[in-house]
Structure 1
Amino acid sequence: MVGLATRLVIAERVRQQLPAGDRAAIDAEPHWYAFGALGPAIGDFVPSEVGENFGDPGRTPYWAVWKEVLSIAVGDPSSGIPGVAPVLRSMTGLLDSVSAAADDEDLSALQDLVDSGVEDVLDQAAADLTVILQQFSDPSRLALLGQLMGDRSRPRILDHLNLTPPGLWTGRDFLHWRSTGDFCVALRKHADDSGDLRLIAYSRGWQVTYAALTAGSGYMNSAVGSCYRTHWWRHRWVGNFVDAWVWGYYDTGASMAGDDPSPPFSDWTSLCAAGLQNVADVSLGPVDHEANARAIVDEAPLPRLLPEDFAEFWMKAYDDVYGSTPGGPVAFTVDSLQDGYTALLTMLWFQTSGDVIGCNPLPGSPPGSCGADGPPSWTDPTQINPVTGQPFLPEPPSPENDPHIAKIVSGVILALLGITTSVLGCWMLGAALVAGGIALIASGAVQPDWDSLRCDVFWLRIYLFNGLTALHNLTVLGGVQHPYPRDLAVDQLVLSFAGAELPYTSGAAVTKSKNINGLKRPWNGALSTWTSTPGGSHEDPQTMVWALPGLWPSALVDDEAANPVHHLVSEPPPGGWPGGDVRGFGPAVQAALALLKEDSTDLPSWNLDGDRGLGWLTWQLDAPYTIPVAPVPQS
């Protein structure tokens, strides 16, 4: 499954290479073009899963995953979980203010911070960060997420006991597996008939992704080790690594000499603040993504962001193609389309806005002589003090231990910033020392220890960096956020909480293609095992999946030298089911350019997951899932 960021890169490179006369609508409505390029991803969030006992459809498992994930971002009052976004604003805001005061040696600015009563807010912020880390490293919570990502997300076609008709597949699977060419043509026809530049741009974006998924799924299946149907969450996980590579490579203008990047991976552009939620924003007005995330967590109604005429246009094309789907229609409606779009933007906000976990740059080197003895133990909130059973905390300032007010004022800032909390019984002492120390300094009796203050602020930034790094590694492991480009330089990342470590693969081992002949049997859904290359036996009968090992993802995008074009997406047409030949379609950009220029009124309905191999047309089962698999053409 080609990731969303990679689709947007492909779409932009297609736009740049189209003749000016062929891209007028795209240039006029770039946001609509980008939205179209997200393509069938909108089906991820359309509430179309099979209900209890085949009853009314409810939210998709993917929606349920993101409800849990978004509670990291905005919190969940019903469960007592704070949100990273408000915590981050509180802590970084004060750290910036104290840094400025220390750099300028501005006592009045320090006094203003004390007078503002900010200590209560920041005491809560530090406590909240600890709660967030504890909640999302809790085994029971991880087990719930693992269940949602595993068995709950298992494609319905894999049921050994029941035959789930296509009309009751999830929206995501439906748009990848049913009449894909017909729907692409219908969108273009209705858009062209309307003369509306927005809709024309959208339909061209969808065509680009139809080509990108057809041409790119073989590469993605090889990097994963199987197809989306049999290893669904690994596909999402690997897709995030490929997205990080593709975005960094093309936005930076990088090159690869074998496995050596120039510039190094650490200098590549990151997706952490790319703002993809804005790139594909066609909303009627300003969007409050944080409020929408909170609505998803609270299961509250979502705003209708899409213009009504677009929803009507989309549903008209949908009804033309899918209106008589056997087994009943998938629950695409105007309302579900609106919800799907809002949720899709909210997911992109979490991943790429920089407002949640963000880019989290390393604070740099300690100032002056600070750090001679290494970082204090309390700077890593993921580690547990074996004596207290709580995260390490700094020693509270005490006149008995250090009678010099000039030296303890800096230490008291730790209390002001919320690291020394009231649970240690030292908060009132700390507040009194802040007031007393500042008063003495203001009267000229003593001078503040500015060097010590600058050092303490640096260690507080390390504290925040370590906490956010742990959260970032958790979301990367979970397949809901992209790795940083610097992560691609190593073969292994490590998730660390409370002294326990969980290593997982990174870099070339995840992103490069592999020779793969045959799909693996379905994943068992076990927690966190999506990070391992699928082992075990193949799903019979075996088919050709990918024959070009050792390539970086540029081969997927536009490297024709590494991934030659053997035939284009829409020509020659497949001779008959199951479809095309075993050579592949070449890079996505070249396939999409050929498709847009051809303006075909009859596109093959390729299986957009590349399932069960290269060049397969859409298929289904006419009995419960068994091995050997007995696919038949879609009815």
Structure 2
Amino acid sequence: MPGIPTNFVIADLVFDALRKRGAPQASLLDNANNLPYAYLGAIGASWGDFMAARPEIGAKSPNTPYFQAWLPVLKLIAGAAQGSSPASNGVYRDLKQLRDTLNKLGGVIKDKKKFALLGMQDELNQLNGVINALQKEIGGLSSLRNTIGKAIATGAPSVKVSPSNQWQPRDTLHGSHSGRFLQALQEAADASSDGRLKAYALGATVGYAAALCGNPYVNNVVGAPYRNHWWRHRWIETHIDTWVHGYYASGGSSTVQFDNNDIPTPLYTNWPNLCEANLHKRIELPGIDLDSILQSLHDGTASPAVLPQVFLDYWKNAYTKAYGPIAATVTSGIDDMGLQSAYAMTWLVLWLQTSGEVIPCMPPDQSNGPDNCGARPPWVAADGSVVVGGTVTPPPQPAKDTNPSVPEIVSGILLAMLGVVQLMTGYLSGGIADIVAAVALVADGVTDPDWEQLRCYQGWVMVFFYSLTNALHDMLKWSGLSFPYTMELAHDQFARQFGGKIEPTDAALNTARSRRRENGTYPASHWNPPPPPNASNWPNPPTEPVELPAETIYPFDLTWPFHFVDGLQFASTTMPPKQINPLFSLTSVPPAPPAPPLVHDKNEWQARRDRINKANATNEFFGNAVDVSLELLLSTQPAEFLDWDLDGDAGIGFPTWLLPTPGAARSAAIPEPEP
């Protein structure tokens, strides 16, 4: 499934088109009070990822499988309350204090303010305790990787058996009554005078179209539907999101060209990164407060309530209309507290991934040592060991092969990273110890500040600070919990040209471009992970046998994600972009009236429902998400949304479907009855 960043790109393109056309919806989008609701709607069915996502429940059910994978990371960031084992302030607060103090020191050194330097003595002395705390917190990464790995290996979407409102909400919203739910949202918004609800319904229409057009593309890259390879989907999704954001932020089809070696101009290294996109601000509502959310995670208490009651009632009523009465228990997450937590955790994850506040947006190629300070700082020995107070910390052992063709891929990377992280904290300790000692000599009147020496010390400490945070970046990226840098999308041109290999395995040619697939190769059956500790093989293409009947998943060979986003391809420097994936309608034979666009075509929807048990039943696609969104928003067709499968599970453009019994073949699928 496309991730939130891709949905936001599609939403921006749709919103701009509505404004340019002077559409009636444009006034909604120009109201600052409504716009966050439009983007919240554009998240679409993926909002169900965090229903339920309740810090007060912790690792217990009913928290969703996706939130179970996120929870240990969020607890690492937020820390743990007194009485926990171990209690901590959290990585965010410690990293922030370290970074803020070092940046302040850099300003003092640059301006050569002696008294300001002396005034920082207490702040600098506190950093020793901060680094000790970081070392303890980061030491927990060993158990953290096991916790994440277990959550990934044991988590999975719901089995498709009736009733769908007993599934996790994420799976219900994608795979059941998708049109009926959107219809309920739209009708309630139309009957209301509240612009926030109207804006949400507008955005939800975009989210519906984004999933409808984007999920088959993602399934193609993955090689299997979300239902069968859920975490490979998540991992691939982060790379597609990075590509889409960078491509459109660089100008999209009007600017970006690819040569015959699939190398873009401008280069990937110059594409904007998601880690500085601040996407959490798109859905930011009055009353949202970072400290309060972190405190709820720290203490294991309920998330703060931010969504207004009118919105909660609107959303729950639409859900009930589409799926039937909500269970009295909290297991579904469809209640006031569940929706409040879902909003808070969605905002928090976007903040963590795209604000640069926890992990600064500093790709390795941008983190340079200070000028004229030598090849290495004085506290780093020639062999790479760190010398702190006479104690030598040896360098880590060389990392294992991180090529995902070997079964240890992510586990090996994270294990190697532990050694790197510990060394980085050692570097910081050594550098800060020298800074503190130098400032102490100035305070005692032994010497005047050696500004050049202090500049070099501070500059090298910042290099190691960014090395430390990039190690955390790598952990989240390879775990599938955050986005790669755009520079990591590049491939080895020479390996491809002379050896026919696409390396590294996470290059965009492997993770963002669609694949050429022959009939009979989709969908791969359920993921069969290797046993622990090597259960983290989701970057590997599926090797499981095909789940019958086979289907066509994406009818276009070797294309980039623009194909499903807006369908526009760069033409030339003298010609405008050309449309290669327009809104699609089936050809009708006269005297039959022209067929409506496929997304509206109820006759074809019924025909596809009837042939879901036939192999390779269809290869017609809806078109691109922007045009499909505009069709749904501006069409003169009857305002009816069809129950298409937003996961693209069975193949391209099938209605939602259920299996009559667990483990039954898809050929026995039946349509879900009315609630």
Q: TM-score, normalised by structure 2?
A: 0.78
Distance 2:145 2:23 in 1: 52
Residue equivalent to 1:172: 170
For residues 546-625 of structure 1, what are the structure 2 equivalents within 5 Å? 546-560=554-568, 561-567=579-585, 568-573=597-602, 574-576=604-606, 578-579=608-609, 581-598=618-635, 600-625=638-663
Residue equivalent to 1:193: 191
For residues 164-563 of structure 1, what are the structure 2 equivalents within 5 Å? 165-253=163-251, 254-258=255-259, 259-281=262-284, 283=285, 285-323=286-324, 330-361=332-363, 364-372=367-375, 377=380, 390=393, 419-420=429-430, 434-440=439-445, 446-490=447-491, 505-516=506-517, 517=519, 518-526=522-530, 527-560=535-568, 561-563=579-581
Residue equivalent to 1:91: 98
Letter in 1 for 2:654: W
Letter in 2 for 1:371: G
| Pairwise CA distance, 1:521 | 1.0
Cα deviation digits, residues 289-333 of structure 1 (max 9, x gap): 243133135321111111101111111212222115899994522
SS in 2 for 1:58: coil
Letter in 1 for 2:512: T
Contact 1:227 1:609 in 2 (8 A): yes
SS in 2 for 1:210: helix
| Pairwise CA distance, 1:566 | 2.8
The percent of aligned pairs where both chains have the same amino acid is 30
Cα deviation digits, residues 156-185 of structure 1 (max 9, x gap): 317xxxx67423210100111111111111
Contact 2:209 2:625 in 1 (8 A): yes
Letter in 2 for 1:572: D
| Pairwise CA distance, 1:288 | 1.5
Residue equivalent to 1:156: 158
SS in 1 for 2:257: strand
2:76 counterpart of 1:72: yes
| Pairwise CA distance, 1:249 | 1.2
Contact 2:431 2:457 in 1 (8 A): no
- Aligned residues, how many? 579
Distance 1:326 1:195 in 2: 30
Contact 2:381 2:387 in 1 (8 A): no
RMSD: 3.4
For residues 96-175 of structure 1, what are the structure 2 equivalents within 5 Å? 96-114=103-121, 117-136=122-141, 138=142, 140-151=143-154, 153-157=155-159, 165-175=163-173
Distance 1:168 1:375, change over 3 A: farther
| Pairwise CA distance, 1:623 | 1.1
Distance 2:277 2:395 in 1: 34
Distance 1:313 1:418, change over 3 A: same
Letter in 1 for 2:606: G
Distance 1:343 1:471, change over 3 A: same
| Pairwise CA distance, 1:374 | 8.0
Distance 1:59 1:435, change over 3 A: same
Distance 1:416 1:104 in 2: 28
Letter in 1 for 2:146: A
Letter in 1 for 2:5: A
Contact 1:186 1:321 in 2 (8 A): yes
Distance 1:65 1:439, change over 3 A: same
Letter in 1 for 2:301: A
Cα deviation digits, residues 400-455 of structure 1 (max 9, x gap): xxxxxxxxxxxxxx999961499xxxx7x9967643444335xxxx5443222221
Distance 1:188 1:434 in 2: 64
Cα deviation digits, residues 241-272 of structure 1 (max 9, x gap): 11111111112215132422222212222211
Cα deviation digits, residues 315-371 of structure 1 (max 9, x gap): 121222211589999452233222211221121111112211131255654344313
Contact 2:209 2:628 in 1 (8 A): yes
Residue equivalent to 2:612: none
Distance 2:220 2:290 in 1: 35
Higher mean alpha-carbon deviation, 38-47 vs 561-570, is at 561-570
Distance 1:421 1:451, change over 3 A: closer
Residue equivalent to 2:49: 44
Letter in 2 for 1:85: Y
| Pairwise CA distance, 1:383 | 9.3
| Pairwise CA distance, 1:4 | 0.5
Contact 2:439 2:449 in 1 (8 A): no
Higher mean alpha-carbon deviation, 118-127 vs 466-475, is at 118-127
Letter in 2 for 1:625: G
| Pairwise CA distance, 1:204 | 0.9
Residue equivalent to 1:408: none
| Pairwise CA distance, 1:120 | 3.5
Contact 1:384 1:392 in 2 (8 A): no
Higher mean alpha-carbon deviation, 580-589 vs 529-538, is at 580-589
Residue equivalent to 2:413: none
Distance 1:473 1:438 in 2: 40
SS in 1 for 2:264: strand
Distance 1:383 1:263, change over 3 A: farther
Contact 2:53 2:67 in 1 (8 A): no
Unpaired stretches in structure 2, ≥5 consecutive residues: 55-59, 397-423, 494-503, 569-578, 586-596, 610-616
Contact 2:379 2:427 in 1 (8 A): no
Higher mean alpha-carbon deviation, 285-294 vs 471-480, is at 285-294
Distance 1:202 1:337, change over 3 A: same
Distance 2:326 2:672 in 1: 10
SS in 2 for 1:248: helix
Residue equivalent to 1:3: 3
Return the match for 2:67 from 63, 69, 72: 63
| Pairwise CA distance, 1:220 | 0.9
| Pairwise CA distance, 1:73 | 1.9
Q: TM-score, normalised by structure 1?
A: 0.83
Higher mean alpha-carbon deviation, 449-458 vs 475-484, is at 449-458
| Pairwise CA distance, 1:219 | 0.7
Cα deviation digits, residues 34-69 of structure 1 (max 9, x gap): 1110111221121399xxxxxx96221222222211
Contact 1:378 1:391 in 2 (8 A): no
